[in-house]
Amino acid sequence: MKKIDLHLHSDLSSDGKVSFEKIVRKLKEENVQTAALTNHIPEVPGHLWYASCNAVVNLKKERDKLEDTYGVRILVGAEIDVIDVSGRLAAPESLIDEFEFIISGVHRYPNATRGRWFHGSRLPVPNADSMHYGPAQYYAITEGILKNEQVTVLAHPLFAYDFLFPPHKKAEAIRSFPEIYKREIMRIAAEEGKAVELNSDDIDRMDDAWFSFGQTYGTMYSIGSDAHSLKHVGDVKKSYEYVQKYKIPEERIIHVG
């Protein structure tokens, strides 16, 4: 089976640490054939990292050279937040048009901002954007993402869903995410021609029900490490373990590049 890694953050992402070149070199070592650079874009003050179309054009030039040197196919993409349940992406259209591959997932809900963080912890400070929302709201944002034709991949389903629960309630929160929403996510993804990501860093949130609905509707999948450091670049072992476990045929894994 072809090895892909379609979710990677470089040092152009505020939370990434690795240069583009180091990423591509590591992908070569890991025998990844096709990959995508997908740095974060939430369009809030101080957080628009791909600041201009020129920056993306230059990145594509750098990519051309790296492809020649290392023989790995790389898409210059982005992981773009949505601004509300309509699924509209938080970036100017001119910038969106420059990207070759767009993934989007819920990082906060309703996701208008990325919130703030407690010192050293992953808990967001509850704010007007993220309080008082439940599974229906989470689902609504996800549906908006799936219905946006600019998006190719729904990144890490349920990633942010447990953020608002205290530590001892998180596992239960994930388990009790309503099955009807899992079904609709997999059904709409199939209908809209989107791939649902098997995110190596986050795949434990997906239980049997997701894959059973995926089987029913013929949903496509994407594979990504979500690497923010060199160590994790190309580390997609866990995703492929799920591919094996749920007997997902190669033709149901997204083909890009």
User: Measured from the CB of residue 218, what is the shortest distance to Zn ion in angstroms?
Assistant: 25
Cα separation, 122 vs 118, whole angstroms: 7
Q: Which residue has the tokens 């994790």?
A: 232
Cα separation, 76 vs 231, whole angstroms: 21
Nearer Cβ to Zn ion, position 5 or 226? 226
- Touching Zn ion, residues 160-219 (CB under 5 A): none
User: Measured from the CB of residue 155, what is the shortest distance to Zn ion in angstroms?
Assistant: 5
User: Measured from the CB of residue 201, what is the shortest distance to Zn ion in angstroms?
Assistant: 8
Cα separation, 9 vs 100, whole angstroms: 15
Is the backbone peptide bond immediately before 124 cis, with ω within 30 degrees of 0? no
Quote the radius of gyration of the chain (alpha carbons, Å). Answer: 17
User: Measured from the CB of residue 165, what is the shortest distance to Zn ion in angstroms?
Assistant: 19
Q: Is 81 in the site for Zn ion (CB under 5 A)?
A: no
User: Measured from the CB of residue 249, what is the shortest distance to Zn ion in angstroms?
Assistant: 26
Give the Å distances, CA to CA, from 257 to 36, 92, 100.
9, 24, 9
For β-strands 34-41 and 153-154, DSSP reports them as unpaired
Nearer Cβ to Zn ion, position 107 or 182? 107
Q: Is 98 in the site for Zn ion (CB under 5 A)?
A: no
Could you give the string, one character per residue 51-80, with x where binding to Zn ion holds by CB under 5 A and - elsewhere? ----------------------------x-
Q: Give phi and psi for 103, each to the nearest 5.
A: -115, 155
Q: Give phi and psi for 79, each to the nearest 5.
A: -105, 105
Determine the interface stretch with Zn ion among 104-112, 170-178, 202-210, 232-240 (rule: CB under 5 A). 104-112
Nearer Cβ to Zn ion, position 34 or 111? 111
Q: Is 226 in the site for Zn ion (CB under 5 A)?
A: yes
Determine the interface stretch with Zn ion among 19-27, 97-105, 110-118, 133-141 (rule: CB under 5 A). 97-105
Both tokens assigned to 191 = 């209908």
| Residues paired with residue 224 on neighbouring β-strands, in sequence order | 199
Nearer Cβ to Zn ion, position 19 or 179? 19
| Residues paired with residue 138 on neighbouring β-strands, in sequence order | none
User: Measured from the CB of residue 251, what is the shortest distance to Zn ion in angstroms?
Assistant: 26
Which parts of this chain interact with Zn ion (CB under 5 A)? 79, 105, 226
